[in-house]
Chains A and B, each alone.
Chain A
Amino acid sequence: MEATCPECAASVALPADTLESEIIVCPECGAELEVVSLDPPALALAPEVEEDWGE
């Protein structure tokens, strides 16, 4: 399986045991990407890390 990095348009190989919502790192640009679909394979930027008060 291969999908396209939404950040740099590189082709990213996905192992056969990849799961939806898995977060991977683009080998070209280092962006952290969420596997949002397996059929067809599709990637999106991983959810942002926000800041929050507390504890």
Chain B
Amino acid sequence: MEHESLALLEALLHIPSLSGQEAEAAAFLVDRMAGYGWEATVDAAGNAVGLVGHEGPLVVLLGHIDTVPGAIPVRVEAGCLYGRGAVDAKGPFATFIQATRRAELAGRLRCRVALVGATEEEAASSKGAHYVRERYAPAYCVIGEPSGWNRVTLGYKGRLLVHYRLEQASAHSAGELPAAPESLVAFWREVEAHCAAHNAGRERLFDQLIPSLRQVASGGDGLTDWCTATIGLRLPEGIDPACLADDLRALAGAAHVRFEGGCPAFRSPRTTPLASAFLRSIRAHGGQPAFLHKTGTADMNVVGPAWNCPIVAYGPGDSRLDHTPNEHIVISEYFQAIEVLAEVLGQL
């Protein structure tokens, strides 16, 4: 089974699948899931979907199969499997497939499992998750993101992207009119101050409003000068994206600001049967379990509020390797996560 698990992930890593370009990876996964005798299809959002079982509560295992750019040669070195998506999040979705298969072969599945390899999680659209949100009403949900084999993620911060654009008539640099880039810098400082005011007295990152300046460009044609920027904000609980957008629009002066990908933070309690099942399984496999709150955003933010069921995120891998040129998964940890999740599925 371990050879099969490794081969599955390795083959999946060989298939490039940038957001919006997941068709080949989805077809590959559907083929593999159908090969297990599961009902498997690519749905209208391009998600790879596998359905297992006919009785019991519905468990949705929602991973994502798109990756950020940056090809990393797929290779095994010193017990690690390298490749773009090894951690975020093809490794976790391969874990879902192999754990479900393991539980099924052991005759331990008493639930129905819907495996969804979703599209466009790395894009602000979260296309795949939005599609399935309206089509399932699960009793339990596990999101496929790296937590480490012995940890379970309970919550993610929210997000808001701000696209800033200022255009103004060109003027001499010795004149009194601030240059367009200077106005952008002033806006950025206002954003930082707004966040700092919110964060006063809040020590946990999960409780803070954190801005990041992600892109800046400027130019002019002699008649008009312009400056654009993209700012990302990670939202704590209690910050509504629409209200924050209103505040930022008021700070932007004459600039045009456009907002994208707004979603609030989401947090699941640790007192659910699902969280307990993970604790039990991690301990049974010799681990010391821990819970996590993450500074990023995931498809849990999309489906969690709508499904209102016990939900966690789980998967092998170190999320500090997300989006890095060194992305890799420790193969032994991948196998451990498969065993832990198979045990969890047998308890639901």
- Chain A residues engaging chain B, CB cutoff 8 angstroms: 19-25, 32, 34, 46-55
Contact = CB atoms under 8 A, between A and B. Distances in A.
Given A52-B292, A55-B156, A23 B271 contact: yes
B319 A47 contact: no
A32 B270 CA distance: 8
Contacts, number: 79
B276 interface: yes
B279 interface: yes
A50 B319 CA distance: 14
A54 B270 contact: no
A54 B296 contact: yes
A55 B280 CA distance: 26
**Interface majority SS (helix, strand, loop, mixed), chain B:** mixed
B206 A46 contact: no
Given A21-B283, A24-B271, A46-B270, A53 B296 contact: yes
List the 9 closest pairs (A to B, CB-CB), nearest first.
A54-B319, A55-B296, A21-B280, A21-B279, A49-B291, A55-B298, A22-B276, A52-B292, A23-B271
B339 interface: no
A52 B148 CA distance: 11
B237 to A, nearest CB: 13
A50 B290 contact: yes
B247 to A, nearest CB: 25
A50 B148 CA distance: 13
Given A21-B276, A22-B276, A50 B291 contact: yes
Given A24-B271, A32-B271, A51 B295 contact: yes
A23 B270 contact: yes
B86 to A, nearest CB: 14
Contacts of B153: 52
